[in-house]
Amino acid sequence: MAAAARRLGNGGLVAFPTETVYGLGADAANAEAIARLYQAKGRPAFNPLIAHVSDLSSAQRIARFDATALALADAFWPGPLTLVLPKAPRCQVADLATAGLDTVAIRVPAHPVAQDLLRRFGGAVVAPSANLSGHVSPTTAAHVQSDLAGRIDLIVDGGPVAVGVESTIVGCFETPMLLRPGGVPRTAIERVLGRPLLRPPEDPEADSDQPLAPGMLASHYAPRTRVRLNAVNIEPGEALLAFGPIMPAGFDRAAAAMNLSARGDLTEAAAHLFGYLRALDDKQASTIAVMPVPNDDLGEAINDRLRRAAVPQT
Ligand code: TXA
Ligand code: MG
């Protein structure tokens, strides 16, 4: 951990576990390190990054918190919630990391390894998911290794992550907006706010102009194999990504099959999602056929990632 913190301080790129997915960290104040981070991921530089800090008081040096933001931080930090807030006057996060926006995305991760690293390092760490841009997010150190070996300085292995989908992103605008469903269910946030979250524009292409969450590109989180959603029957040669105890027609013909949660548990399904997509992607199947997943709780984030995985890649 000491070596990892030192690497960050020297402008290095360090992958580390958070409770959602593995992140690829760089010193948020070091534009050169951030440029290398974008390069290592092959990520378009207009797609801004989340600044990770160890606690609320560190977050308040970066961004301005109103009463709503404080209520959300109090309820869900540390944890899988990211807040998009106006930058503080002396915000140390490099403009390259915020893609020139006057807002900044901040999160306080709960994972003990992430907390330890942030405390040792002392400053903010920007960290996108530690995968090649457009690939499925990593939920184990081995996933990071297979995407980024040779392109980054260090991987801290903290075992498989607990949540398995990225943080929920809330834009703290006049009316708070759900920019990305994720590890905190929308309903839990709405209970704290006492009102519904605005929804982002339905059409993902609408993001390309003046993006609210510029990272929400239509094709994202994508395996190389074609993905077919809401499968109720399986064609020969297809791989099956199942959910729940009841198998679809023709499942015995599947080239490969994995079940996100045989007992139909959405939390378990989220934890398995990206790892199973990666595993099925390696089976040389014609298609990954995915059974319907209910949209409650973490199901909203799961369905969001599945829809993106199913968009044809360009
Ligand atoms: O769970 C997570 O959030 C993981 C772990 C590593 O913390 N990180 C993650 O980062 O998912 P990334 O880079 O894959 O996704 C960050 C998202 C992108 O969609 C980006 O556009 C959005 O956050 N974002 C960042 N800054 C923003 C801003 N100022 N306004 C709106 N959206 C922003
Ligand atoms: Mg990502």
Strands 125-126 and 154-155 come out as: unpaired
pLDDT score recorded for residue 240: 98
Judgement on whether residues 114 and 161 belong to the same structural domain of the protein: yes
Is the distance from the beta carbon of residue 19 to the nearest atom of ligand 1 less than 6 Å? no
Judgement on whether residues 132 and 176 belong to the same structural domain of the protein: yes
The letter for the amino acid at 163 is: V
Q: What is the CATH number of the domain that holds 253?
A: 3.40.50.11030
The mean per-residue pLDDT over the stretch 296-309 comes to 94
Residue that has been written with the tokens 């390190």 in this structure: 33
Residue 217 placed within a domain: no
Probe target for ligand 1 pocket from 46, 50, 83, 178, with the most ligand atoms within 8 Å of CB: 50
Domain of 289 in residue numbering reads as 226-310
Task: Report the share of the chain in percent with pLDDT over 90.
Answer: 85
Strands 50-52 and 125-126 come out as: antiparallel
Whether 216 shows a pLDDT value over 60: the answer reads: no
pLDDT score recorded for residue 206: 45
Q: What are 76's two structure tokens?
A: 């869900």
Judgement on whether residues 121 and 268 belong to the same structural domain of the protein: no
pLDDT score recorded for residue 200: 72
Provide the mean pLDDT of the chain.
Answer: 92
Number of structural domains found in the chain: 2
pLDDT score recorded for residue 201: 65
Among protein residues, the one whose CA lies closest to atom 20 of ligand 1: 215
Give the orientation angle of helix 266-281 with respect to helix 141-148, to 10 degrees: 30
Among protein residues, the one whose CA lies closest to atom 15 of ligand 1: 128
Q: How does residue 241 score in pLDDT terms, banded at 50, 70 and 90?
A: very high
Residue 204 placed within a domain: no
Q: What's the residue count for the chain? A: 314
* Cα 247 to ligand 1 centroid, rounded to whole Å: 35
Provide the residues around ligand 2 (an ion) whose CB is within 5 A: 129
The mean per-residue pLDDT over the stretch 73-94 comes to 97
Probe target for ligand 1 pocket from 54, 62, 81, 82, with the most ligand atoms within 8 Å of CB: 82
* Cα 105 to ligand 1 centroid, rounded to whole Å: 7
Q: How far apart are CA 238 and CA 108, in angstroms?
A: 40
Judgement on whether residues 155 and 237 belong to the same structural domain of the protein: no
